[in-house]
């Protein structure tokens, strides 16, 4: 508005000056000057206001940037704190886990050492007693051989043979277990005829059965399986020996094949409780040994060895027992 007034006064001033009206021109010039000064003052004020607004905006932007930097730095510190705390917690957990593992390993080593000590004591006992008995029989025969009848000599040598068979079986089992523990025993599966292998193994335990007057009945047919020959022979030998051990004097042990790929050993001995069967099937160490019907001792490692060898040959072992029905062990192998 003032700008228009100023332009009008300036125009009237120029017109009055051109018309030679000096006094009138002077009036319009004064008005124009006053208006010009007012316009300059308003423009200066407007410029100052704009500058102030710009300054305020700049200050606000600076403050906002500072706040954002502060927030960013705080977030960074928080992240670093979280990461350091997590790593510290992880280190603590790893240390705890390592400590637990070391304690567990120490306990396992101590248990293994204790178990080996017990095993050594048991094995020493089970090896020493038959040897002492054999030595006593041999001493009796050596001192007064002529005092004994042929029948008595036959019976005494049968005892010696049975003891020798027991010791040999124990030594073979120990050798097998040592090789398995050291990873030196590898399975070499081949196609085998169970009937011929059973017949061969029966001959190995025949003397022990005869001494106890236990009859071994064969109910076998040609049955082909895939397994390691020596492992299967060890399984058969141990199961047959167990069957004879827990059969009563004059009892019967039956060995047979079952289609398509399994065999069984049945004896008419005492019933095995379910908890004892569970121990045999799941024990991690030596199976608790039980005295045979004729006082035969044992280490309890035979059945454990059988279980491991059956598993290594991808087979299954099952123990069936009921009151007045004896015990049947069934081994199923790969056809």
Token duo for residue 24: 């009138």
DSSP code at position 20: T
Q: What is the CA radius of gyration of the chain?
A: 53
C-alpha distances out from residue 51 to 47, 122, 260, Å: 6, 103, 103
Instruction: Give the whole-angstrom CA distance, residue 287 versus residue 276.
Output: 9
User: What is residue 54's three-state secondary structure?
Assistant: helix
Write out 208-272 in H/E/C secondary structure: HHHHCCCEEEEECCCCEEEEEHHHHHHHHHHHHHHHHHCCCCCCEEEEEEECCCEEEEEECCCCC
Tens of pLDDT along the chain (335 residues)?
666 776 777 777 777 777 777 777 777 777 777 777 777 777 677 766 776 777 677 678 888 888 888 899 999 999 999 999 999 999 999 999 999 999 988 887 876 666 566 555 555 655 666 677 677 778 887 787 777 888 887 777 877 776 777 677 767 766 776 777 677 778 888 998 988 999 988 988 888 888 888 999 999 998 889 998 888 888 898 899 888 888 888 899 999 998 788 899 999 877 777 777 777 777 655 555 555 555 555 556 778 888 888 888 999 999 888 888 888 999 998 77
Which H/E stretch holds residue 280? helix 274-282
Which H/E stretch holds residue 329? strand 327-332
Which H/E stretch holds residue 286? none
> In 3D, which of 155, 304, 162, 325 has the Cα closest to residue 254?
325
The sign of the CA dihedral 17, 20, 22, 23 is negative
Largest CA distance in the chain: 183
């Amino acid at each position: 508005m003032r700008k228009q007034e100023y332009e009008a006064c300036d125009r009237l001033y120029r017109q009055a000056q051109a018309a030679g009206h000096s006094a009138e021109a002077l009036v319009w010039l004064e008005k124009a000057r006053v208006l010009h000064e007012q316009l300059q003052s308003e423009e200066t004020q407007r410029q100052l206001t704009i500058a102030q607004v710009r300054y305020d905006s700049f200050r606000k932007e600076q403050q906002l940037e500072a706040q954002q930097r502060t927030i960013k730095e705080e977030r960074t510190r928080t992240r670093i704190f979280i990461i350091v705390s997590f790593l510290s917690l992880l280190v603590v957990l790893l240390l705890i886990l390592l400590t637990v593992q070391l304690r567990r390993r120490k306990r396992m080593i101590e248990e293994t050492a204790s178990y080996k000590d017990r095993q050594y004591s048991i094995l020493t006992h089970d090896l020493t007693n038959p040897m002492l008995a054999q030595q006593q029989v041999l001493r009796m025969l050596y001192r007064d051989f002529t005092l004994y009848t042929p029948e008595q000599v036959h019976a005494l040598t049968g005892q010696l043979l049975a003891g020798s068979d027991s010791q040999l079986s124990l030594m073979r089992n120990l050798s097998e277990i040592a090789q398995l523990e050291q990873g030196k025993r590898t399975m070499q599966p081949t196609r085998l005829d169970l009937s011929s292998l059973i017949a061969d193994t029966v001959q190995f335990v025949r003397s022990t059965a005869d001494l106890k007057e236990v009859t071994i009945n064969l109910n076998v047919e040609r049955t082909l399986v895939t397994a390691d020959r020596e492992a299967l022979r060890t399984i058969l030998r141990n199961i047959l020996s167990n069957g004879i051990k827990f059969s009563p004097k004059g009892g019967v042990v039956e060995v047979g094949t079952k289609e398509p790929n399994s065999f069984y050993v049945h004896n008419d001995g005492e019933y095995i409780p379910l908890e004892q069967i569970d121990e045999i099937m799941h024990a991690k160490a030596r199976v608790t040994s039980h005295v045979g019907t004729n006082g035969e001792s044992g280490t309890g490692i035979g059945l454990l060895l059988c279980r491991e060898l059956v598993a290594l040959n991808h087979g299954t072992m099952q123990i069936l027992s009921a009151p007045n029905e004896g015990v049947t062990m069934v081994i199923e192998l790969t056809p």
